[in-house]
Structure 1
Amino acid sequence: MTSTEPADVGGSGSSPEPVTYDHGEHVEGPLFHGTKAVLEVGDELVPGRSSNFQAGRVMNHVYFTAMVETAVWGAELATALAGSTERGRVYVVEPLGPFEDDPNVTDKRFPGNPTRSYRTRSPLRVVGELEDWEGHTPEVLQGMLASLARLREQGLDVIED
């Protein structure tokens, strides 16, 4: 994979078109998935696995993004929340079925989906691994973990899955 630039989902200067299960053909790659899991090219990420973000929760969707930065957060948070000191992984993926905007960020936190986050009930195939990504400083990561802890304490860490 040579390009890691984010996809131009909505065109220059315009707000992005909503992505629905019936309308996602305008989303261009590369697409990324950040995780703690060690995967190989050809492996498939599928729904029905444990959440990286809520203990005991089985996920109905697989989540991915068109932005490296968003995938980096996923990789870092997944490893940190698991209590691991290892570096997370950022994979280049291709959806094997329809997908939609991730309502957990699009509708709740970032209207218009500036994080270019999506979800699918279909598998994602790993087509490569991005190895040269830069993580956040320990202070920034701790700030994000503290923010997630506050949301949990307030009962606001709800994942619409």
Structure 2
Amino acid sequence: MGFSTGAEQFYHGTRADLQVGDLIRVGFRSNYRDGIPMSWVYFSQTLEAAIWGAELATGEGRERIYVVEPTGEYVDDPNLTDKKYPGNPTKSYRSREPLRIVGEVTEWEAHTPERLQQMKDGLAALRAAGKGIVID
């Protein structure tokens, strides 16, 4: 389990329109699965993972990447570390405690439309094969 020391920088990609000081809490719908409330909040120490989070998030809002601060304990995200990237090279985490928004990354480079479509197609294939399950 981890605890923020304040020295790390963490990110959360989404389409939600939030402000500095707001809390991202459990119990709201997933960024990736319509209508399903999540019992964890997800975040990363890499901007790349947050970019994917923003680009793949459902909804109509614009893609946003927030700089966040965990308010409690957090653990490796088993959706990535156990299944796809052993050892957590994406530095992806989750927590049952809120994330406090401390800033927003306003300039970042999006993936090409072709690369984004490849990722969406790959995720759709996983779901179709019954392997697109989020461990919540």
What's the TM-score, normalizing by structure 1?
Answer: 0.80
* Structure 2 unaligned blocks of 5 or more: none
- 2:121 corresponds, among 146, 156, 160, to 146
The 1-side partners of 2:23 and 2:87 are apart by 28
Residue correspondence of structure 1 range 1-150 to structure 2 within 5 A: 20=1, 23-24=2-3, 28-78=7-57, 81-82=58-59, 84=60, 87-150=62-125
**Secondary structure of the residue that 2:67 maps to in structure 1?**
strand
**How far 1:58 sits from its partner (Å)?**
1.0
Same amino acid, percent of matched pairs: 51
Name which one, 1 or 2, has greater alpha-carbon Rg. 1
Distance, in Å, in 2 between the alignment partners of 1:94 and 1:26 is 10
Summarize deviations over 1:60-83 as a string: whole Å, max 9, x none.
Answer: 0000000000000000000xx43x
User: Structure 1 pair 39/102, CA: closer, same or farther in 2 (3 Å)?
Assistant: same
Q: Distance in 2 between matches of 1:26 and 1:112?
A: 21
Which stretches in structure 1 are left out of the alignment for 5+ residues? 1-19
Alpha-carbon distance, 1:128 to partner: 0.2
Distance 1:50 1:127, change over 3 A: same
For these two proteins, the number of residue pairs brought into alignment is 136
Relative CO higher for 1 or 2, CA cutoff 8 Å, sep ≥ 6? Answer: 2
- Report the 3-state secondary structure (helix = DSSP H, G, I; strand = E; otherwise coil) of the residue aligned with 1:91: strand
Q: Give TM-score, length-normalised by structure 2.
A: 0.94
C-alpha displacement at 1:87, in angstroms? 3.6
The amino acid across from 1:127 in the alignment is V
Contact 2:4 2:69 in 1 (8 A): no
